[in-house]
Structure 1
Amino acid sequence: MKKIIASIALLGLLTSCSNSTIDQEPSNEMNYSKSLAKWTELKAVNGNSYTYKSNFTSFTGNGNTTQLTVKNGIVTAREYESFSIDNSPSRTKTITLYYLEDEKNLGTHTEGAPTITIDEIYTLCATNYLKVDETNNSITFTTLPSGLLNVCGYTPKNCMDDCFVGVNISDYKWVK
């Protein structure tokens, strides 16, 4: 029995170490360098104009989505929506705040994701989120099926709720 428990504990330790190390590639995910190379490749083919969404959802059902528009490498618009989802069987979503900023008023609201490009997010990921102390934090880096960054950040160990620090990106779209 002790041998089985020790084997399970060792397997858990090996799994947690491999998932938190950038240089090792968990199954079905690309590591940071490969993801950045994929982003650079796609940007060269499609241009430096795109939209993406930054997302947050709490365990309480509250959350928000910020869509950013980038044209020729410069953020030109930010659309924000916060919401709550009730506990009913239908899980009804209620919008609690909405705004749309354009070039004239970009960055005037405090709510929402910062007005940064995907290039800046990759840099932020590498310099701030993936370099935290692994003994005190669980590091997460995942990609979408396209190879582009999906989640990059960390969660302090022993934290219970909504402790993730980082980015959650989705819905990349190229703009002509």
Structure 2
Amino acid sequence: MHRILYFLFLTVILFGCSKDELEYQNEFDKSYKAWLQYKQNNKSYSYTAKTTSWIGTTTHTTITIENNQVSKRDFKYVRIGSKAIPENGWTKQLAIEALKEIGYTENEISSSFGNEIIDKLQWVENKEDLGNNGNAEQLMTLEQIYDKAKNDWITKRPNSQIYFEAKNNGLISTAGYVPDGCMDDCFVGIKIISIQNIN
């Protein structure tokens, strides 16, 4: 009997403490409930994550999930300096102009991008070649993102600003942190600008 009471007491203590480890516990719990409802009817969906850099670039990565498995990753620079990606994608000339605008020299463009400049600024991976390209959002389902947020991105940590928002109809939109004193491209986490179900 004493062992059972001790085990129950220990369980309450352990689970009670874990609630205090998240910076945005209530907001996270509410959003996770919305996710559980959403995924009951949506095993196939896509989401688009956005990154911005202090040098003047913005990227979008769209991850497609089919039957709870990542099946596609679509990456593109949507803005470089003052230039936005045209409807039909980047041209080599426009890409070079945009990169020069944010400080790249001809030599830096050549050494960083080579002849495949367009292929570095926009690309698509399908099931057979997922993960072949770098510099994009990780291959994660929303379930994995919620797990990463709970166990890493929004856990309380010293000397950091923690962020969590659920602006995609209650689903996660921002989860991450910025170490205090960090100046450039310091956000660790994810910013999701849209979530779409796939019929």
Q: TM-score, normalised by structure 1?
A: 0.76
Are residue 149 (structure 1) and residue 172 (structure 2) matched? yes
* CA displacement 1:55-91 (0-9 Å, x = unmatched): 10123321211101000000000000124433xxxx3
Which residue, 25, 30, 43 being the options, matches 1:48? 43
When residues 172 and 83 of structure 1 are mapped into structure 2, their CA distance, relative to the original with a 3 A threshold, is closer
Task: Write out the 4+ residue segments of structure 1 that deviate beyond 6 Å after TM superposition.
Answer: none
Larger radius of gyration: 2
State the distance in 1 between where 2:31 and 2:196 align: 16
SS of residue paired to 1:172: strand
State the distance in 2 between where 1:129 and 1:47 align: 25
| Cross-structure match for 1:160 | 183
* CA displacement 1:95-151 (0-9 Å, x = unmatched): 551111111111111121111100000000000111241x31010001115111000
SS of residue paired to 2:127: coil
SS of residue paired to 2:38: helix
State the distance in 1 between where 2:184 and 2:196 align: 31
| Cross-structure match for 1:13 | none
What pairs with 1:10-25 in structure 2 (closer than 5 Å)? 21-23=23-25
Are residue 130 (structure 1) and residue 130 (structure 2) matched? no
Report which of the two has the higher share of helix: 2
Letter in 2 for 1:21: E
SS of residue paired to 2:37: helix
Are residue 92 (structure 1) and residue 83 (structure 2) matched? yes
| Cross-structure match for 2:139 | 115
SS of residue paired to 1:158: coil
Question: How many residues matched?
Answer: 145
RMSD: 1.7
